[in-house]
Structure 1
Amino acid sequence: MARGRDHILKTLENLEEDEFKTFKFKLRTWPLRPGFFPIPRGKLSTLDRVDLSDKIVCCYLEGYGMELTAEVLLDMGLREEAVTLQQAANSASRSGPNGNATQSTQHSAGASAASGGHFVEQHRINLINRVTVLDPILDELLGEVLNAEQYDTIRAEATTQKQMRILYTFMRNWNNSHKDMFLEALRKNNPFLVEELEKS
């Protein structure tokens, strides 16, 4: 089955050059779901079709990336391309493991014994690289899981990735209850990322 990135790339390759420029302009200013942020203008203007497909999936995940691309195309009047991409997105959303579109919170949080670790440990690399909203998560963990010194140490880092790496060093001393709290904070503030990882 083709991946979301491939569907997006195929769609962008069908655009004329002026349509592709318009698409990038609209994408930069398009209203996004909570938890997602626009691709910076300086980066967006230099991306070709292949790189932009990668960037959309990196920033918005495959499911929402396809939906977002289709929304922009519809706004441009490119209905045929948009509908084709929407159909691909709908098909992908129904094809989770064993045909399940979603998994329960209890399954994810308690996925420990059978699959070799808590959800937040299993998906460490993806979470470090792809979490976009961290500040409210740290605020929720402060006092419950993180002490003030740990909180300040994390916040002192310049990028979200570096902050997540520090957070994971403190996680070594957490029990499963603490990890569950972290997962629920992730689910609240980065819902689409958690949903995608649950399906993987």
Structure 2
Amino acid sequence: MPCGRDLILKALDNLNEDEFKRFKNKLLTVPLRDGYCHIPRGTLQDLDRVDLTDKIVRYYLESYGLNVTMQVLQDIGMREEAVTLQQAAGAASRPHPTGNAVQPTQQSATAFIPSGEHFVDRHRASLISNVTLLDPVLDQLCGQVLNEEQYDAIRAENTTQNQMRKLYSFMRAWDNACKDQLLEALKKTNPFLVQRLEKS
């Protein structure tokens, strides 16, 4: 299955030069989720399609980068291309009967309580207070759901509790798949805490 980066690059490759220029201009002003910033204008001007794809993934990561790309395509009047990208991204994210792709389905089954609230949202206060081993969690999330600037901002906090609060401030922009990744990282690094909270 193609990854998010491949799908973004394919969408950009399908643009002609005028459309590509309009895409870059709109990327400067498209509304973004909290915690994300626009790619600087000076950085964008000379980027080709491959370099722009890399820049989008670096600033927004693959999952949100796909959403940003779709939004820009829609905003410049290329709805058909946006729909094509959305369909390709949906197909790539569906569970597959073999390999590692089945894991997100299994993770999601335990990530939610009956009310539909995600585990990491329900146990926010307890996780902030009790997580003791956070560095390996951040290392696993960096490049997946945290960009380098967010990673550095969290590490700059002086206590683990403040680092967790900073992590939660970025989490407001996450979807449930991103929260699943945090939960899986916590299960590996703080297993007893997660087990205790699952029973509470």
- Partners of 1:68 and 1:20 lie apart in 2 by 15
Matched residue pairs, number? 160
Structure 1 residues 15, 190: CA separation in 2 closer, same or farther (over 3 Å shift)? same
Partner of 2:147: 130
Q: TM-score scaled to structure 1, two decimals?
A: 0.63
Does 1:121 find its partner at 2:136? yes
Structure 1 residues 187, 131: CA separation in 2 closer, same or farther (over 3 Å shift)? farther
Q: TM-score scaled to structure 2, two decimals?
A: 0.63
Q: Which amino acid aligns with 2:62?
A: E
Q: Which amino acid aligns with 2:147?
A: R
Partner of 2:77: 77
Structure 1 residues 98, 190: CA separation in 2 closer, same or farther (over 3 Å shift)? closer
Deviation at 1:61, TM superposition (A): 1.4
Partner of 2:168: 187
Question: Does structure 2 retain, via aligned residues, the 8 Å contact 1:9–1:50?
Answer: yes
Per-residue CA distance 1:139-177 (angstroms, 9 max, x = gap) = xxxxxxxxxxxxxxxxxxxxx84x65554xx56xx5xxx
Partner of 1:7: 7
Partner of 1:65: 65
Structure 2 residues without counterparts, runs of 5 or longer: 96-100, 112-118, 185-200
Per-residue CA distance 1:59-101 (angstroms, 9 max, x = gap) = 1111111111111111222222110111233345555734145
What is the aligned-residue identity percentage? 41
- Partners of 1:86 and 1:119 lie apart in 2 by 34
Structure 1 residues 191, 62: CA separation in 2 closer, same or farther (over 3 Å shift)? farther
- Partners of 2:81 and 2:12 lie apart in 1 by 9
Does 1:196 find its partner at 2:198? no
Q: Which moved more, 1:84-93 or 1:23-32?
A: 84-93
Question: Does structure 2 retain, via aligned residues, the 8 Å contact 1:63–1:92?
Answer: no
Structure 1 residues 37, 20: CA separation in 2 closer, same or farther (over 3 Å shift)? same
- Partners of 1:101 and 1:58 lie apart in 2 by 26
Q: Which amino acid aligns with 1:32?
A: L
Structure 1 residues 76, 166: CA separation in 2 closer, same or farther (over 3 Å shift)? closer
Question: Does structure 1 retain, via aligned residues, the 8 Å contact 2:108–2:180?
Answer: no
Structure 1 residues 76, 101: CA separation in 2 closer, same or farther (over 3 Å shift)? farther
Partner of 2:187: none
Partner of 1:26: 26
Question: Does structure 1 retain, via aligned residues, the 8 Å contact 2:34–2:173?
Answer: no
Structure 1 residues without counterparts, runs of 5 or longer: 134-159
Displaced runs of 4+ in structure 1, greater than 6 A? Answer: none
Per-residue CA distance 1:36-65 (angstroms, 9 max, x = gap) = 100000001111100111111111111111
